Chains A and B, each alone.
Chain A
Amino acid sequence: MIGEATSSGGGGKDDSPAAVSGKKNKKPNYSRFTQQELPACKPILTPGWVITSFIVVGVVFIPIGLASLYASEHVVEIVERYDKDCIPPDYRNNSLHYIQTSETDKNCTMTINVPKLMKSPVFIYYELDNFYQNHRRYVKSRSDKQLRSKASEGKKNIAWKSDQEHKFGSDIYPKNFQNGSLIGGGKLNPSIPLSEQVDLIVWMRTAALPNFRKLYGKIEKDLQANTTITVTIENNYNTYSFGGKKKLVLSTTSWIGGKNSFLGRAYIAIGGLCLFLAVCFVFVYLLKPRPLGDPSYLSWNRNPSGQMN
Chain B
Amino acid sequence: MDSQNPFEGEISLNRRKGENSVREVRHGSRGGDIELLGLSHKEIGDDDARLVYLNDPVKSNERYEFAGNSIRTSKYSVFSFLPRNLFRQFHRVAYIYFLIIAVLNQLPQLAVFGRGASIMPLAFVLSVTAVKDAYEDWRRHRSDRVENNRLAWVLVDDEFQQKKWKDIQVGEILKIQANETFPCDIVLLSTSEPTGVAFVQTVNLDGESNLKTRYAKQETISKIPEEEMINGLIKCERPNRNIYGFQANMEVEGKRLSLGPSNILLRGCELKNTAWAIGVAVYCGRETKAMLNSSGAPSKRSHLETRMNFETIILSLFLTLLCSIVSICAAVWLRHRKDELDILPFYRRKDFAHGAPQNFNYYGWGLEIIFTFLMSVIVFQIMIPISLYISMELVRVGQAYFMIRDMLLYDEESNSRFQCRSLNINEDLGQIKYVFSDKTGTLTENKMEFQCASIWGVDYSGGRTISRNDPVQVDGKILQPKMEVKVDPQLLELSRSGKDTKGAKHVHDFLLALAACNTIVPLVVDDTSDSPVKLLDYQGESPDEQALAYAAAAYGFMLTERTSGHIVINIQGERQRFNVLGLHEFDSDRKRMSVILGCPDKTVKVFVKGADTSMFSVIDRSLNTNIIHATEAHLQTYSSMGLRTLVFGIRELNNSEFEQWHLAFEAASTAIIGRAALLRKVANNVENSLTILGASAIEDKLQQGVPEAIESLRTAGIKAWVLTGDKQETAISIGYSSKLLTSKMTSIIINSNSKQSSRRSLEDALVTSKKLTITSGITHNTGASDAAAVNPVALIIDGTSLVHILDSELEELLFELATKCSVVLCCRVAPLQKAGIVALVKNRTRDMTLAIGDGANDVSMIQMADVGVGISGREGQQAVMASDFAMGQFRFLVPLLLVHGHWNYQRMGYMILYNFYRNAVFVLVLFWYVIFTSFTLTTAITEWSSMLYSIIYTALPTIVVGILDKDLSRRTLLKYPQLYGAGHRQEAYNTKLFWLTMIDTLWQSVAVFSIPLFAYWASSIDGSSIGDLWTLAVVILVNLHLAMDISRWSWITHAVIWGSIIATFICVTIIDAVPIFSGYWAIFHVAKTELFWLCLLAIVLAALIPRYVVKFLYQYYSPCDIQIAREAEKFRSPRELRNTKIETNPILGSPHR
Seen from chain A, the residues whose Cβ lies within 8 Å of a Cβ on chain B are 1-6, 8-19, 23, 25-30, 34-36, 38-45, 47, 50, 57, 61, 64, 68, 96, 125, 127, 129, 131-142, 144, 148, 160, 162-163, 166-167, 179-182, 184-185, 205-215, 237-239, 241-242, 255-258, 260, 262-263, 266-267, 270, 273-274, 277, 281, 288, 290, 292-295, 297-300, 303, 305-309
Contact = CB atoms under 8 A, between A and B. Distances in A.
Contacts of A277: 1105, 1109
B1144 interface: no
Interface string B457-479: 00000000000000000000000
Contacts of B876: 11
A177 to B, nearest CB: 11
B345 A134 contact: no
Given A36-B402, A242-B344, A42 B1089 contact: no
Given A162-B1084, A263-B1098, A184 B345 contact: yes
The 5 closest A-B pairs by CB, nearest first: A1-B294, A10-B416, A293-B1127, A293-B1128, A136-B936
Given A28-B405, A260-B1015, A270-B1102, 9 more contacts: A8-B880, A10-B417, A13-B210, A18-B179, A28-B417, A39-B1050, A50-B1112, A163-B1080, A299-B1120
A133 B346 contact: yes
Contact of B205 (A5, A10, A16, A167): A5
Nearest to B353: A180
A181 B270 CA distance: 93
A136 B936 CA distance: 5
Interface in B825-871: none
A18 B1102 contact: no
B73 A206 contact: no
B782 interface: yes
Contacts, number: 349
A129 B1070 CA distance: 33
Interface in B756-786: 778-780, 782, 786
B291 A160 contact: no
Interface in B954-979: 964, 966, 970, 976, 978
A135 B934 contact: yes
B406 A182 contact: no
A215 B1022 CA distance: 12
A187 B981 CA distance: 75
Contact of B1126 (A6, A14, A42, A242): A42
A307 B1108 CA distance: 33
A261 to B, nearest CB: 10
Contacts of A38: 964, 1050-1052
Contacts of B933: 132, 134-136, 210
B1080 A299 contact: no
B1105 A270 contact: yes
B873 A293 contact: no
Interface stretch (B9-17, B227-235, B730-738, B1129-1137): B1129-1137
Contacts of B270: 18
Interface string B192-227: 000000000101110111100000000000000000
Interface stretch (B407-415, B721-729, B1058-1066): B407-415
Interface in B924-959: 932-934, 936-938, 940
B1124 A144 contact: no
Contacts of B527: 17
A138 B1017 contact: no
B610 interface: no
Interface stretch (B553-561, B627-635, B695-703, B1023-1031): B1023-1031
A28 B1080 CA distance: 53
Contacts of A309: 715
A237 B345 contact: yes
Contacts of B135: none
A205 B1025 CA distance: 10
B790 A267 contact: no
B1116 A47 contact: yes
A284 to B, nearest CB: 8
Contacts of A294: 1124, 1128
B1013 interface: yes
Nearest to A240: B343
B932 A273 contact: no
Most buried by A among B886, B888, B966, B1101: B1101
B1048 A40 contact: yes
Contact of B780 (A4, A300, A303): A303
Contacts of B346: 131-133, 135, 137-138
Interface residues of B, number: 147
Given A11-B876, A180-B353, A45 B1125 contact: no
26 contacts: A8-B877, A8-B886, A10-B414, A11-B207, A11-B416, A14-B413, A17-B527, A28-B407, A28-B417, A34-B406, A45-B1112, A136-B938, A160-B1085, A167-B1075, A184-B343, A205-B1022, A208-B1022, A209-B1021, A262-B1015, A263-B1098, A277-B1109, A292-B1130, A293-B1125, A297-B1119, A300-B1121, A306-B782
A2 B268 contact: yes
A57 B148 CA distance: 70
A180 B1127 contact: no
Contacts of B1078: 139, 142, 144, 206
Nearest to B293: A1
B399 to A, nearest CB: 10
B660 interface: no
Given A8-B872, A45-B1116, A166-B1080, A298 B715 contact: no
B18 to A, nearest CB: 16
A50 to B, nearest CB: 5
A2 B1085 CA distance: 63
Given A44-B1127, A241-B344, A11 B414 contact: yes
A30 B539 CA distance: 36
B442 interface: no
Interface in B404-444: 404-407, 410-417, 419
Contact of B1019 (A23, A40, A257): A257
Contacts of B294: 1-2, 4
Contact of B1016 (A26, A209, A239): A209
Given A42-B1047, A208-B1016, A263-B1015, A14 B406 contact: no
A5, A133, A180, most chain B CB atoms within 10 A: A5
Interface in B262-318: 267-268, 270, 272, 290-291, 293-295
A306 to B, nearest CB: 6
B204 A297 contact: no
B790 A12 contact: no
Contacts of A260: 1014-1017, 1019
Contacts of B1022: 205-208
A9 B204 contact: yes
B717 interface: yes
B816 interface: no
B525 interface: yes
A152 B1115 CA distance: 62
B734 to A, nearest CB: 21
A161 to B, nearest CB: 8
Nearest to B201: A18
B1153 to A, nearest CB: 6
Contacts of A273: 1105
B115 interface: no
B84 interface: no
B526 interface: yes
B488 interface: no
A77 to B, nearest CB: 10
B1102 to A, nearest CB: 6
A274 B1049 CA distance: 26
A207 B1098 contact: no
B877 A5 contact: yes
A266 B1011 contact: yes
Given A266-B1011, A267-B1098, A277-B1109, A14 B147 contact: no
Contacts of A15: 482
